[in-house]
Structure 1
Amino acid sequence: MKNSKLTSFSLVILQFLFVGIIAFSGPVIPSKLMWALLFWSGIGLGIWAILTMKIGNFNIIPDVKNNGKMVISGPYRHIRHPMYSALLLSTLAEIGNAFSPLRLTMWMLLFIILLFKLHYEERLLFAHFPEYPAYAARTKRLFPFLI
């Protein structure tokens, strides 16, 4: 259990580190229309996911809450990790708006750490919810029709 918490917190800390570096190394809110649309789409998806998940069920670390409920409505009807998708979309928009090699590197590291985090989280979800395998078989992880 102790190792599980260490893994969970390490993944979250790295996630916030990479997002923070992206945010503090250039403008946060894109000024160019195309990137602003992508940014706000990501923010909207994230808000929709949190509202669908409900605050009491929401958990920033990838551990399953003992009283947690499996959510398969809203954006979760199509993708299993819409909050990760939202984060990737909004940070990609920040980079597209004000590109730098540092920001791109941080985004790629963020993408990698989120892949590790979602694989780790899914192992826990498969073990906790008997209906998760069927749900996983009919949905994509991050983006509908892609991955």
Structure 2
Amino acid sequence: MKKTYSILLVILQFGTIGVMLLLANYRFDLLSLIVFLAGVIVGIWALMHNRLGNFNIEPELKENCKLITTGIYKWIRHPMYASVTLMMLGVTLMDPRAVLWLLWLFLVNVLLLKAQREESLWISHDPCYHAYMKNTKYFIPYIL
């Protein structure tokens, strides 16, 4: 059942992103481009510190997973979700219609649910995770 929940969250995440990308009218401006590129940079930085085989799009722990606390993971626990949030915020800023803002808020909630799922697994998997949680934020350093 828990695996089904994880798969549902992935489907909701990618489905929402797909709908947003299809609905958006791409009017590039400096702010939307900066926000989008910030998301790309956060994602690349996270991937630079994540080894192949440790990364998972499902909020499930892989066998032999290892907690990463270097690079951007030193400040935030879910940089890939932060990356997606920023990139899709950039898309929303390009076409700030209410439907895109609602979809973006829905996406943020899905990503928060994925993060909560992962954290519950990490807490039971690694006794050091509580200390890591105290020293980091979810998505935004020093804030959230």
* Shift, 1:38, TM fit: 0.9
Q: Which runs of 5+ in 2 are unaligned?
A: none
After TM superposition, the structure 1 stretch with the greater mean CA deviation from structure 2, 51-60 or 4-13, is 51-60
Q: Which runs of 5+ in 1 are unaligned?
A: none
Q: How does 1:87-98 map to 2 (within 5 A)?
A: 87-98=84-95
The corresponding residue for 1:20 is 18
The corresponding residue for 2:6 is 8
Using the size of structure 1 for normalisation, the TM-score is 0.93
CA distance in 2, matches of 1:111, 1:56: 25
Describe the superposition over 1:45-76 as per-residue Cα deviations: whole angstroms up to 9, x where unpaired: 11111221122210110101111111001110
CA distance in 1, matches of 2:6, 2:115: 11
Task: Check whether the contact 1:52–1:73 (CA below 8 A) recurs between aligned residues.
Answer: yes
Identity of aligned residues (%): 35
Q: How does 1:133-144 map to 2 (within 5 A)?
A: 133-144=130-141
Task: State the one-letter code of the partner of 2:127.
Answer: P
Q: Which runs of 4+ in 1 moved over 4 A?
A: none
Q: How does 1:119-130 map to 2 (within 5 A)?
A: 119-130=116-127
CA distance in 2, matches of 1:87, 1:138: 22
Q: How large is the Cα RMSD of the aligned pairs?
A: 1.2
